[in-house]
Amino acid sequence: MFLRFGFNEVINPYIIEDTDMYKQYGAEAPAILDRCYYLAVLPRPDVGMSKEKIDKLKSIVPLVAMKEIDNLKKVLHNYKKGKISSDDLVGEIAVALNVDEVTALKVFDYVFPEFKELKPAPTNLILRSHMTSSWFHTISALQYKLPLPIKLFSVDIRFRREQREDEKHLSIHRVASCVMVDEVLSIEEALLFTKAFLKELGFTDIYFIKKSQTSSYYAFNSNYEVFIKHQGNNVEVAELGLYNPVVLNKYGIAYPVINIGFGVERIAMIMYNEQDIRNLVYPQFYGIWMLTDEDIASAISLDKIPNTVDSWLIFEKLVETSKANKDVQSPCTIKAYEGSFMNRHVTIEFYENDPNVKLLGPAVFNRIYVYKGNILAIPEEGFEHVEYVTEARANGVRTNIRLIDAAICLFLYQLEQAILIGAEEVNLRIKMVKQPSDINIKIPQNIHHYITSKNLKIDIRGPVFVGIHARITK
């Protein structure tokens, strides 16, 4: 949008000096600095090689020579002068002493405790708390390099030491900030542009309130807050104004400047109907973890899946055979396939050796549904007297996984592996299923954790009782 309005993007400095606050805010600066983060650094110690240090060094590197000690002194001196970076210090010690880096690290840790005793020393550098603080430097640098009018924008972060973070305030937040620089500018231009910009975002109920107490870096009577009416609430989304000519003069800026700053998170909160800025920016910490039934269903898969074309060519035949013969009384054996498979001859049979039961258990054709966050293996017909079954079938998300499909896929995977290792038979026997892994169903760890954390359930239990056997011959 900024580009469409003719603005060019810049990256403004993140780090400025605290003296900028005095230039921009005058006597108010100490109060503003209370909201800023100061930067501190670890000083580089002036480390010498005393007799005590040399003795410590020899306890680690017994054969160290004076030439190598002199090399070490040079390394420490160059580090102090900033000629060696912190990342390279241990490596340079290793080179100076002609030892490996593990030994050099021992030397650094034992011989030079000064480094561990260092305390951060404050500087006069601060992280910008307002994009304005950086705009003065950018405009000063570009005012004679670009033709007028100059129109610049930066969508970036600012750092503000809030007393506490809450639903409306974050210590690190984003601003969509822009400036216009020209020989003549009026506050009306800023108001018109702001209204046009927000209308492009879809907002129409926009109004401005002139601030009675203007920030020192804005010209008197030119500082406005911008509000949007949203769901009966007045939400401040921007602030604008003309920069104070006195402050501009301190930075050598010769032209009037308009500044407008849009709160990115504030606008996003309206767009996404979010009441708590923390949920919007840090959902991993503050957001309510919600997964839809579709999210959960799409994550459920089979653990073992056959990899060959031969397996998939006979998969449906095995399913059809199981379905056609599921009620055959036991003991019984039903041939499902005989023929070529991975260049071998195989005979595949369903079997049930226990007497006076059926070939397959009653739960074997149950399908996986997800309903209200619960994962359920339920029959596709019947059980109308069980409310959660009928509701899940009617309103839940139906997956393409049945327990028989999962079992046959596991069997075909095992058959492929058996042929690869030269085995002569494969036997799969699944009786009572108590958990997904019993029937070759995989539920990702995050889905499992979500369901348990919400006191929901994974119910894939049931009497499957399926037996599949294969003989492998040449």
Q: What's the pLDDT band for 386 if we cut at 50, 70, 90?
A: confident
Q: Model confidence over 25-76: pLDDT tens digits?
A: 988 899 999 999 999 999 988 888 899 989 999 999 998 899 999 999 999 9
Does the pLDDT of residue 361 top 90, yes or no?
A: yes
| pLDDT given for residue 384 in this prediction | 84
Terminal Cα distance for the chain, rounded: 71
| pLDDT given for residue 213 in this prediction | 82
HEC readout, the chain: CCCCCCCEECCCCCEEECHHHHHHHHHHHHHHHCCCEEEEECCCCCCCCCHHHHHHHHHHCCCCCHHHHHHHHHHHHHHHCCCCCHHHHHHHHHHHHCCCHHHHHHHHHHHCHHHCCCCCEEEEEEECCCHHHHHHHHHHHHCCCCCCCEEEEEEEEEECCCCCCCCCCCCEEEEEEEEEECCCCCHHHHHHHHHHHHHHCCCCCEEEEECCCCCCCECCCCCEEEEEEECCEEEEEEEEEEECHHHHHHCCCCCCEEEEEEEHHHHHHHHCCCCCHHHHHCCCCCCCCCCCHHHHHHHCEECCCCCCHHHHHHHHHHHHHHHHCCCCECCEEEEEEEEEECCEEEEEEEEECCCCCECCCCCCCCEEEEECCEEEEECCCCCCCCHHHHHHHHHCEEEEEEHHHHHHHHHHHHHHHHHHHCCCEEEEEEEEECCHHHHCEECCHHHHHHHHHCCCCEECCEEEEEEEEEEEEC
Cα(433)–Cα(203) distance, rounded to whole angstroms?
A: 56
Does the pLDDT of residue 111 top 80, yes or no?
A: yes
| pLDDT given for residue 474 in this prediction | 83
| pLDDT given for residue 441 in this prediction | 97
Which residues, 6 or more positions from 133, have their beta carbon under 8 angstroms from its beta carbon? 16, 20, 21, 24
Supply 77's token pair. Answer: 């001196």
Helices 51-60 and 66-80, axial angle in degrees (round to 10): 110
Average pLDDT, the chain: 94
Residues 424, 472: contact at Cβ < 8 Å?
yes
* Of 22-26, 134-138, 329-333, the least confident: 22-26
CATH superfamily of 8-36+125-281: Bira Bifunctional Protein; Domain 2 (3.30.930.10)
Residues 152, 9: contact at Cβ < 8 Å?
yes
Supply 231's token pair. Answer: 């769901």
Cα(129)–Cα(237) distance, rounded to whole angstroms?
A: 17
Q: Model confidence over 291-317: pLDDT tens digits?
A: 999 999 999 999 999 999 999 999 999
Does the pLDDT of residue 231 top 80, yes or no?
A: no
Cα(72)–Cα(296) distance, rounded to whole angstroms?
A: 60
